[in-house]
Structure 1
């Protein structure tokens, strides 16, 4: 039986893999096609990355534009956290759908079960299959087909972090690998969880990297029992983005009020949706005449790397998105932190994030460490090799579907099987 397995080590930078910290990951790499030029989507956040993997499309085409989004539920535009458990339902009520493109789970509904285990934010987990074509297991609530809650005995009662990831991996190996599921995703919370709360490269962060590596090792052991020679299984081991260290924190809404562009801190003429080291500014009709002046103002701030219209996203490797919003990539540099990990970025914060710590990890933009995810692919007739091809998160879905003999619909990504089989054994 053909199967596809995806393991995501959230925010693990490829330059932080060593024989000491990631022996299992390096073992996978030694028997896989390693993609040297693997890039995240923009913004480089998990809540936009998960539907990018699920749909094979960039954020502007699947519809989730960052860690937070501006939505109007009838009382004017407000900033809503995409990570909240109820965000999917709120977005469906606002626009009638959650994602603009079908997910892998939907496309495989006539082929076999899809099971997703995730220990990141609830919103990011549910966006992998928001309509419930398969199973999604998360600590905030788990559901099966039709989004029906799973039985109490089947819930994923874990905590975020190392111990929760370990327990989730045990469940994943039992229910997905040993259970003969056609498509399974294991999305670990580490080392992202530790990175957001401790300096990159610190003992706490390194311990989290080692824990993610152990989870990968457990998956390898489980596959070795059911398909030791990878004759039917394609295994994708990757991260969705990397991390930079927080250099400064910037309350963009406060800056816009202070500079006269926004009427008041909580006004809805201009609404800021921050996504770590990037942000999107929604401009209402009443303020649209301020747009170009606002872009000029932002591009003169030392905390902005670049501010541009959403219809210029092709400049950062993403399709354009005509509209009245402004996209900001926060400024940064390649300076190393106290543990020798390079990459610093300014971080956008909102009123609920004033406790964001200087010096811990963050992502969302296009800084040095943020654009260093990794991708290893092992599968039938694939020889260990290094590919120079430029690939990204959106290429996983079409590759998975082709392996499972399902013709993908229109996607931004392309199947990597033709690239990888050039070096077939």
Structure 2
């Protein structure tokens, strides 16, 4: 590996590919013209940030890396307990229940002896920490920043930013000055919270959405300028800019646990033999051996519900690169209407709600395999050598193999493959 060869990846969380156009994202639009543009780039299922982070860093689908969703059922003392993967302590719960975290190596482990990895993230703690769950590199997050070996960073060494556009900008400025110009790791990851953070509370296409896009672009432009200066100093840098998923509009909500209880599974739910882990526009259905038969027995009725577009189990899950194991029995993709929101953005989705938490109708959401939430964007800029559209369909799992291939490291053990750079 050439010492000056490095990779920078910027993720604009929740920025769907259809929003990358001259009138909405001029910075990204201009950068795409001098980059390899992945015109058929796809998300993973569930199309949520925490799973996406694991797929980006491992180059593997959930069936192989083992992180199920934004919320995940763990088998604890013989019952299914659904926990929030975004919580700072989720990895400890996961280790106690399964014996570990991700089932395959993360990027930080692969490059630990070849220049290292530094990640700055402003999304949920879980999404940040699953970029490097075993502490092979540096991860910076407002809930806690860590050095290799899990040593917690304190004071000015930590990352103290707000969870909003202002925090994204402050994080980006430090990332460019400290990580890119001074520390110069082999892999530098910057994960912005917007536009996703904003869209969970406002309509797609609204003025607030446009503001969130401008904020994300401001951060991307700063990284592009910094990389340009470093290239001018003789460094060979591959710049990857993309997103993890898109967004769709919330139309209505349903609490699937309530439906299961009405259909005879109330006692199994109360005992932890059946559980639901909502993923926004999708849900994962879990069961112990005691509850599995009863859960399977109501899936046909569930398929007839107006809120369920698809209910998959077994081979159907495998086709989505998701494994029916560790308590997972089935997945529900919530139904979709085609009508437009007040800003002309088509599509309304049912969402899986938690008891006592009504769905914020009209705001953005994601998690299933709808047409917009599964279209993230990705471009690879290598200083103008690779320009045009990629010659094949790509996915989040192609990012890690692209990074390690550019660094000259082994590319074995991935589900994905390197982008066709020239």
Bin the TM-score by the shorter chain: over 0.9
State the Cα distance separating 1:295 from its structure 2 match. 1.5
Alignment partners' CA distance in 1, 2:102 and 2:234: 33
Task: Choose 41-50 or 385-394, whichever is displaced more.
Answer: 385-394
Residue 182 of structure 1 aligns with which residue?
Answer: 186
Unaligned runs of 5+ in 1: none
Matched, 1:102 2:125: no
Q: Is residue 88–residue 130 contact of structure 1 (8 Å, CA) maintained in 2?
A: yes
Q: 1:35 to 1:379 in 2, by over 3 A?
A: same
Q: Is residue 333–residue 367 contact of structure 1 (8 Å, CA) maintained in 2?
A: no
Post-superposition Cα deviations, 1:346-388, rounded to whole Å, max 9, x if no partner, equal 1001126x14310100000111211221011011562321124
Alignment partners' CA distance in 2, 1:324 and 1:305: 19
Post-superposition Cα deviations, 1:60-83, rounded to whole Å, max 9, x if no partner, equal 210111110111333621110000
Residue 215 of structure 1 aligns with which residue?
Answer: 219
Task: Choose 320-329 or 66-75, whichever is displaced more.
Answer: 320-329
Q: Is residue 308–residue 335 contact of structure 2 (8 Å, CA) maintained in 1?
A: yes
State the Cα distance separating 1:303 from its structure 2 match. 0.4
Residue 21 of structure 2 aligns with which residue?
Answer: 18
Q: Is residue 85–residue 122 contact of structure 1 (8 Å, CA) maintained in 2?
A: yes
Match of 1:235 among 228, 239, 261: 239
Residue 55 of structure 2 aligns with which residue?
Answer: 52
SS at match of 1:235: strand
Query: What is the TM-score with the length of structure 2 in the denominator?
Result: 0.95
Alignment partners' CA distance in 2, 1:347 and 1:389: 32
Unaligned runs of 5+ in 2: none
Q: Is residue 21–residue 213 contact of structure 1 (8 Å, CA) maintained in 2?
A: no
Backbone CA RMSD of aligned residues = 1.7
Q: Is residue 38–residue 378 contact of structure 2 (8 Å, CA) maintained in 1?
A: yes
Q: 1:386 to 1:231 in 2, by over 3 A?
A: farther
Post-superposition Cα deviations, 1:262-295, rounded to whole Å, max 9, x if no partner, equal 3265431210011111111112211222243222
Residue 89 of structure 1 aligns with which residue?
Answer: 92
Match of 2:363 among 357, 360, 363: 360
Post-superposition Cα deviations, 1:237-257, rounded to whole Å, max 9, x if no partner, equal 001000100011110001100
Residue 39 of structure 1 aligns with which residue?
Answer: 42
Alignment partners' CA distance in 2, 1:99 and 1:22: 34
Residue 194 of structure 1 aligns with which residue?
Answer: 198
Q: 1:280 to 1:26 in 2, by over 3 A?
A: same
Number of corresponding residues: 417
SS at match of 1:160: coil
Residue 262 of structure 1 aligns with which residue?
Answer: 266
Alignment partners' CA distance in 2, 1:17 and 1:378: 16
Query: What is the TM-score with the length of structure 1 in the denominator?
Result: 0.94
State the Cα distance separating 1:27 from its structure 2 match. 1.8
- Aligned pairs (5 A) from 1:361-400: 361-379=364-382, 382-400=385-403
Task: Choose 266-275 or 93-102, whichever is displaced more.
Answer: 266-275
Residue 272 of structure 1 aligns with which residue?
Answer: 276
SS at match of 2:418: coil
Residue 134 of structure 2 aligns with which residue?
Answer: 131
Task: Choose 112-121 or 372-381, whichever is displaced more.
Answer: 372-381
Residue 252 of structure 2 aligns with which residue?
Answer: 248
Match of 1:289 among 279, 290, 293: 293
Alignment partners' CA distance in 2, 1:360 and 1:124: 21
Alignment partners' CA distance in 1, 2:338 and 2:180: 41
Post-superposition Cα deviations, 1:16-56, rounded to whole Å, max 9, x if no partner, equal 23324312111210110001100000010001000100000
Post-superposition Cα deviations, 1:100-145, rounded to whole Å, max 9, x if no partner, equal 0000000101101210000000001000001111000000000010
